[in-house]
Amino acid sequence: MKIIITYLSISLLSLAFATMQAQEKQLDSLRSNFKESKIKKLSDRKKELEIKKLIKSKKTVELKEKWFLKKDIFAINTRLKKGEITEVEANNLKIKAAQKRALNIKNHIAIIDNEIALWNRTDKPYQLDMRDEGRRHVVRIGSGPLTGDNLIFIGKESDDTPHRPDKRTYKEIVFAFGFNNAIIEGQPLESSPYRIGGSGFKELGHDWKTRIFNTSNFWRFKYGFSFQWNKFDIKNNKFLVNTNGTTSLEEFSSELGKAKFRTTNLVFPFHLEFGPSKKIEKKNYFRYSTKKKLKIGLGAYAGLNLGNMQKLKYRVDGDRIKDKQKGEFEVSNFVYGLSSYVGFGSSALYVKYDLSPVFKNQTNKQNNISVGLRLDLD
C-alpha cells in the first residue's frame, strides 16, 4: 500500500511539475511576443518619423537653392549695373546659375529618395559592419570631428580616431608669496627701516608657457600678467611722510602700535624657462611633462602702479585710532624689474627685484626686493 501511495505521489508531483513548466514556457512565449511587438511598434514609429523628416527636407532643399539662385542673379545684376559685364554675358551667367541650382535640387532630391527607399526596405540606415576576431571594422567616406583626418578609411573603428594636434602652449595660474623689503641706497639690508618678518609680498596672475622648438621642450617662453602686493612693516616708531612731493621716514609724535605701507602693481612678466621634461607618447599624439623636473626661469617684468596705502594704529588719550592714508605718496607710476626662479615641478624659489624706485622723490633711493615661494598651477 505504501508503495502505491509513493508511486501516486511521485506521479502527481511529476504532473504538477510538467504543468508548471508548460505554463512557464507559455508565459515566456507571451513575454517574448509582447517584447517583439513593442520593439516592432517602436521601430515602425521611428521609420515613419524618419521618412516624414526626409520628405519635409525635399521642400527645404528647393527653398534653399531658390534663395541661392536669387543671390546669384542679384550679384550678376550688380555687375551689369557697374558695367563689368554686358547684357548678353549677364543673361548667359543667369542661365548657367539657374542650371546649376536646378541640378543641385535634382541631386539632393535623388539622395533623399534613396534614403527613403532604404528606410522602406530596412528598419535603420544601411551600415557596413564587419567583425574580425571580435573587433569592429568600418568603411568610412568623408571625415568629421570624431574621425581621423583621412577622407577614406577602411579598418578597425578603434584606429579611426582624430589626430590631436601638438600642444605647444599651456596655461597656468601663478601664485607667489614670501618676504619683502627694500634695498636702500647707502645702507646694508640689516639696517633696513622695515621689519623682515612683518614685511611680505603676494602675487597672483595668469601666464602661458610655449615651447620654443618643435622637437624639444628644453627651452620655453613664459609670459602673462600678474597683480603684485608689496607690504612694508615700518619699525622704530617711524612712518612715511610726503613733504612737497618728497617721501621720507619720520618719527611719529606718539607711540605707534603699527605702521605699514603697501603698494599694488599690475605687471606683465616675461621669462625664459629651461630644464628637462618627459615626453609622453600616446596613440595619436604626444605631450611634454615637467612634473618633478628641474626648471630655471630668468626674466623681467614691467607694469603700472595701481595704488598705495599707509596704515597706522596708535592711541590718543586711551582711544584706539586707525588711520588709512590712500594714494598720498609719490610712488613710481611705471614699475619694472628683474625676476628669477628655480625649482622642481610646479613649485620654485622665487626672487624679484624692482629696478624702478619705490618712490619718485625720496631722501634715499629705495628699490623693492622680494624672496619667496612660487607656484605654477596648470
What integer pLDDT is reported at residue 311 of this predicted model? 92
**Is 104 in the same domain as 135?**
no
How confident is the model at residue 68, as a pLDDT? 87
Same domain, residue pair 145 and 219: no
* pLDDT of res. 369: 95
Q: What mean pLDDT do residues 119-142 have? A: 53
pLDDT tens digits for 251-302? 888 888 889 999 999 999 999 999 998 888 776 677 888 888 999 999 999 9
Lowest mean pLDDT among 104-108, 294-298, 308-312: 104-108
Q: What is the pLDDT of residues 154-182, one digit of tens each?
A: 666 555 555 556 678 889 999 999 999 99
One domain for residues 104 and 58: yes
Say what the pLDDT of residue 128 is. 44
Quote the number of domains for the chain.
Answer: 3
Compute the distance between CA of residue 334 and CA of residue 346 in angstroms, rounded to an integer: 30
Domain range for residue 227? Answer: 169-377
Cell numbers linked to 286: 604626444
User: How far, rounded to the nearest angstrom, does the alpha carbon of residue 136 sit from its chain's CA centroid?
Assistant: 33
113 with 206, same domain: the answer is: no
Q: Is 172 exposed, middle or buried (0-12, 13-18, 19+ CB in 10 A)?
A: middle
Q: What is the pLDDT of residue 168?
A: 84
**Banded pLDDT at 8 (limits 50, 70, 90):** low
Per DSSP, the chain holds a count of helices (H) and strands (E) of 2, 16
Does 112 lie in the same domain as 30? yes
Cα–Cα distance list, 224 to 147, 172, 290 (Å): 35, 9, 19
Residue 132 has pLDDT above 50, yes or no: no
Q: How much is the pLDDT for 33?
A: 59
Same domain, yes or no, for 370 and 262? yes
pLDDT in tens, 318-350: 788 888 888 888 899 999 999 999 999 999 999
Q: Give the chain's largest Cα–Cα span.
A: 131
Percent of the chain with pLDDT over 90: 32
What is the chain's mean pLDDT, rounded?
Answer: 81
State the helix-helix crossing angle for 2-81 and 87-121, rounded to 10 degrees. 180
Domain assignment present for residue 326? The answer is yes
Q: Kindly state whether residues 136 and 187 are assigned to the same domain.
A: no
Three-class secondary structure of residue 47 per DSSP? helix
- Minimal CA–CA distance to 273: which of 200, 333, 314, 222? 222
Number of Cβ within a 10 Å radius of residue 123:
12
Residues 77 and 155 in one domain: no
Residue 142 and residue 110 in one domain: no
**Is the same domain home to 317 and 354?**
yes
Which neighbouring-strand residues pair with 261?
Answer: 232, 310
10 falls within a domain: no
**Mean pLDDT over residues 127-151, rounded?**
49
* Within-domain flag for 93: yes
Q: What is the mean pLDDT of residues 191-206?
A: 92
Do 56 and 177 belong together in one domain?
A: no
**Torsion on CA atoms 9, 10, 15, 21, rounded to nearest 10:** 130
